[in-house]
Structure 1
Amino acid sequence: MTEAVIPTAPPRERLSAESRRSTVGAFLGYFVDFYDIYLPTIALAPALAYFQPKDLGTVASTTIYYVTFVVTLIGRPVGAAFFGHLADSIGRKRTTVVAIGGFGVVTLLIGLLPGYGSWGWFAIVALILLRFVDGVFLGGEYTAAVPLAMERAPQSRRAEVSARIMLGYPFAFIAISALTTLMLFVAPTASGAYLSWGWRVPFFVGALLSVAVLLYFRRVEDDEPAAGGSPESPLRALFARGPNRRSLGQIFLLMTGMWLSLQTAVSMMPGLLTKVLKLPSTAVTVGTMTMFAVLAVVYLGVGRLAERIGRRAVLVLFAALTATVVPVVYWAMIANSDPDGGSVGTLVLAGVVVVIANAPWCILSAYLPERFPPEVRASGFGVGYTFAVLIPSCYSFFLLWLDALLPYKYTQIPLVVLGGLLALAGALMGPETKHADLTRGAS
């Protein structure tokens, strides 16, 4: 009588030394990218008066605040298209190095800018122009670095590698929040110190981080241009009638939904908690940093889950949760908020919203490159990931329109539902890609 044989899971493939270096490089690039994205909304926000006349009205001041953030988002698609073309044509590593060097220089220049007292209105114009150029280089960095890391990762562990790379997002948010909080303590706004020099420190740190990432990328091996022997432009091949354009359309729908739900459920959360629900800013800062620490752990779990059940299943699952569970929790958070009764309950519900809406993002660095063949992979990843942010970036106008139908503090909920539904439709339209061979193209 023979003993029953208990099946065991196949051993996990090990990451090669070059795969580890490419993964760490992509993670560091994402970290610096998101650190830089949050500079105007977190570090510069308390000192924006430095660039404005003292008698500027609230509406104009708030508009400038939003513009300094939005111009970066507008610059990213431009950079994704331009540097994606370069990454497919001349190589991923060389393109990454140029992009990192570019936004490092621009971030340093912003930190050196004089204020309204010296340059007048040109100070704010220079800030906005530099933030746009910064966005161009930022869009180029991940467009080149992420496909490089995915192409060197083992097929059975690409979603895990993607999750590790995307840890740069929560870590960057925690880092910029902690550094800004420290600077506000060292150089209080009441004394004028933060307004004159305190805000510059996070920008100088960002420039130094760019130099560090640039030096690290020298250790990453060069790659051969994926489209080097093709007479056709990668961008032209991406938009030509056929499978590439169909993949791009599906990715655009998916990412439009994911960006819309992210902007309304996550990006607006700190402002909603402090300005609308009137929670103490210190509690919100600590609570938000805690949410992103939890999110980092969830990312790793979702990456493993995507290796077991597939990318498509994970995207469908979280899109459905975003369209159904997140709006209910969002409503409960607002309806039951009582700043006099404590902030913990509200912050816990806010954390549930942030984690669910954010969780599937960790596998996009694997899923999107898996949808395109090598010769257009960087272009497809960059354009599909970045151009979809343009419509969701107008969410503030959508909220004003919805304000005529329901109380303003609830206007985010319909947009969260719409974002979840669009992401669900996009995920269902696409194939499962976990078995894609990135040396030959997407499945």
Structure 2
Amino acid sequence: MDAEGAWRVGQLRRAAAAALIGTAIEFYDFFIYGTAAALVFGVVFFPGLGAVGALLAAFSVYAVAFLARPLGAVVFGHFGDRVGRKATLVVSLLLMGLATAAVGLLPGFAAWGWWAPAVLVVLRVCQGVGLGGEWGGAALLIAENAPAARRGRYGGFLQLGPTIGFVLANGVFLALQLGLDERAFRAWGWRVPFLASFALVAVGLFVRLRVEESPLFRAMERTEERGEKGAHGERPPVLEVVREHWRPVVAGGGAITVGYALFYLTTTYSLAYATSGLGVASTLVLAMLLVGAVGMAGTVWLSAERSDRWGRRRTLRWATGLAAGWALVLFPLLESVSRPLMFVALAGAMVVLGCMFGPVAAFLPELFPTRVRYTGAALTYNLGGVVGGALTPLVATRLTAAYGTAQPVGWYLAGLGVLALGCLRLLPETTGAELGAVDGGRRRAPLWGADPAA
């Protein structure tokens, strides 16, 4: 291997490590709110609303971050496509980490009254904006460094980040609940995972500051310095995405909606429902989810690697079909209150989720040209989160309260699976496509899934 080849391999490994570590930290910050919302935030910030009302209020604030994520995708995507991927990722990490740590310092309703939940909403918005800019930039950091034939495999490193963040978040809460009594946990124990974000952000910054800028972005900059801006000139990236690439944004967002929905139903709503509705100990549910996360990590890696051979769209279609089917058995198994069957329900859902998440880090960046790739991939990923992540826990809470059982939630989730399959039908197969030195080609995604290289 010559010197240039060795440098490229080293840069790719550093990019993969930076994406993995940074994304794990960002998702840890994001996930600990969901766990805290299910376990304690209703009591701390919304007392007096009743059990269902407090849970709905906590999940409503939880949903605010998902609504803010597309805004983060637009803002950070603009600077990521104009200034660079690296600098934008550093800022997104700082915003998320500091907002998360501030939640750990926030007084509860008993001390601040309604100011406490109001400030919580503001901090949750900051979390959403930060995460909205995180995933797209991290995906590009890998996709624009990786060879086309192994882009899915290297994208799997990024997709392991949310899994690691989930394990860290739930592991910390599980340890605290095992080590503290209920009174101490509600008084101060829940703050520890949030305050730990200070240390995690320092680690993430150290890793990300050592990564160099994407070679494709540098090539685009050199082209623009020569005055070759093309017909698009200085048009803001979001306008170009909306006008010329709206189909992959809409179809791509719809395709990943069911993955978001299944994830947050499994990890957040099921935790709340099992503890408050079924009377199951929260430590038992957290332990089951942690074991399931190990299986999820395995299938993330397997599906990401296999998508280089089988195709991104084909892999996602099989995984989406599995998710739609699993949705129909998830809550009947959970409501059996049998420990083995509950474990099968939760661990099985996590394994299916890994199959869905694996190819996404390579698939979405491949749908957009370099000059708008950050904005396009980030906006697509986070629009899927609005429906799948923000609305689903609220819909599930309402359906369960109305019918006295969570089984209708499974039908809702299966419906999202059918929608996702239809959206995948509209997207092209992108496996093996060259991203291009300047703009990845000026093509638009074809309507019925034709090969973009054709």
Asked if these proteins are the same fold (TM beyond 0.5), I'd say: yes
**1:390 counterpart SS class:** helix
**2:358 counterpart SS class:** helix
Aligned residues of 2:68 and 2:125 also touching (Cα < 8 A)? yes
The match for 2:356 is 360
The match for 1:326 is 326
Aligned residues of 1:319 and 1:423 also touching (Cα < 8 A)? yes
Distance 1:331 1:206, change over 3 A: closer
Once the two structures are TM-superposed, the CA of residue 406 in structure 1 deviates from its matched residue by: 5.9
The match for 2:136 is 143
Distance 1:151 1:389, change over 3 A: same
Cα deviation 1:97-148 (Å, max 9, x = unaligned): 1111122222222222223343222122111211111211121122222212
2:198 is equivalent to residue 199 of structure 1: no
**1:351 corresponds to which of 347, 352, 363:** 347
2:14 is equivalent to residue 21 of structure 1: yes
2:64 is equivalent to residue 67 of structure 1: no
- Residue type of the partner of 1:245? W
2:304 is equivalent to residue 303 of structure 1: yes
The match for 1:220 is 211
The match for 1:8 is none
Distance 1:410 1:162, change over 3 A: same
Spell out the pairing of 1:25-424 with structure 2 (5 A cutoff): 25-43=18-36, 45-48=38-41, 51-52=44-45, 55-190=48-183, 193-223=184-214, 224=217, 226=220, 229=229, 230-240=233-243, 242=244, 244-264=245-265, 267-323=268-324, 325-330=325-330, 333-334=333-334, 337=336, 339=337, 342-392=338-388, 393-396=390-393, 398-399=395-396, 408-424=405-421
Aligned residues of 2:89 and 2:134 also touching (Cα < 8 A)? yes
Structure 1 unaligned runs (5+)? 1-12
**2:431 corresponds to which of 431, 434, 439:** 434
How many residues of Structure 1 are paired with residues of Structure 2 in the alignment?
A: 422
Once the two structures are TM-superposed, the CA of residue 57 in structure 1 deviates from its matched residue by: 3.2
Once the two structures are TM-superposed, the CA of residue 194 in structure 1 deviates from its matched residue by: 2.6
Distance in 2 (CA, whole Å) between partners of 1:327 and 1:48 is 27
Aligned residues of 1:74 and 1:390 also touching (Cα < 8 A)? yes
- Residue type of the partner of 1:106? A
Distance 1:278 1:53, change over 3 A: closer
- Residue type of the partner of 1:422? L
Distance in 1 (CA, whole Å) between partners of 2:250 and 2:410 is 26
Structure 2 unaligned runs (5+)? 1-5, 442-451
Aligned residues of 2:400 and 2:409 also touching (Cα < 8 A)? no
- Residue type of the partner of 2:315? V
Aligned residues of 1:279 and 1:343 also touching (Cα < 8 A)? no
Distance 1:290 1:130, change over 3 A: same
Distance in 2 (CA, whole Å) between partners of 1:60 and 1:217 is 41
What is the TM-score when the length of structure 2 is the normalising length? 0.85
Cα deviation 1:200-221 (Å, max 9, x = unaligned): 2211212221121111111101
Once the two structures are TM-superposed, the CA of residue 358 in structure 1 deviates from its matched residue by: 4.0
Cα deviation 1:293-320 (Å, max 9, x = unaligned): 1111111111221111111110111122
Distance in 2 (CA, whole Å) between partners of 1:307 and 1:160 is 7
Distance in 2 (CA, whole Å) between partners of 1:390 and 1:164 is 24
Distance in 2 (CA, whole Å) between partners of 1:53 and 1:349 is 31
Aligned residues of 1:15 and 1:153 also touching (Cα < 8 A)? no
Aligned residues of 2:254 and 2:423 also touching (Cα < 8 A)? yes
- Residue type of the partner of 1:411? P
Distance 1:43 1:407, change over 3 A: closer
Distance in 1 (CA, whole Å) between partners of 2:429 and 2:258 is 19
The match for 1:9 is none
Distance 1:109 1:260, change over 3 A: closer
Aligned residues of 1:77 and 1:139 also touching (Cα < 8 A)? yes
What is the TM-score when the length of structure 1 is the normalising length? 0.87
Aligned residues of 1:40 and 1:68 also touching (Cα < 8 A)? no
Aligned residues of 1:50 and 1:115 also touching (Cα < 8 A)? no
Aligned residues of 2:34 and 2:268 also touching (Cα < 8 A)? no
Distance 1:124 1:328, change over 3 A: closer
Distance in 2 (CA, whole Å) between partners of 1:183 and 1:317 is 38
Cα deviation 1:384-409 (Å, max 9, x = unaligned): 11012223322345447756996532
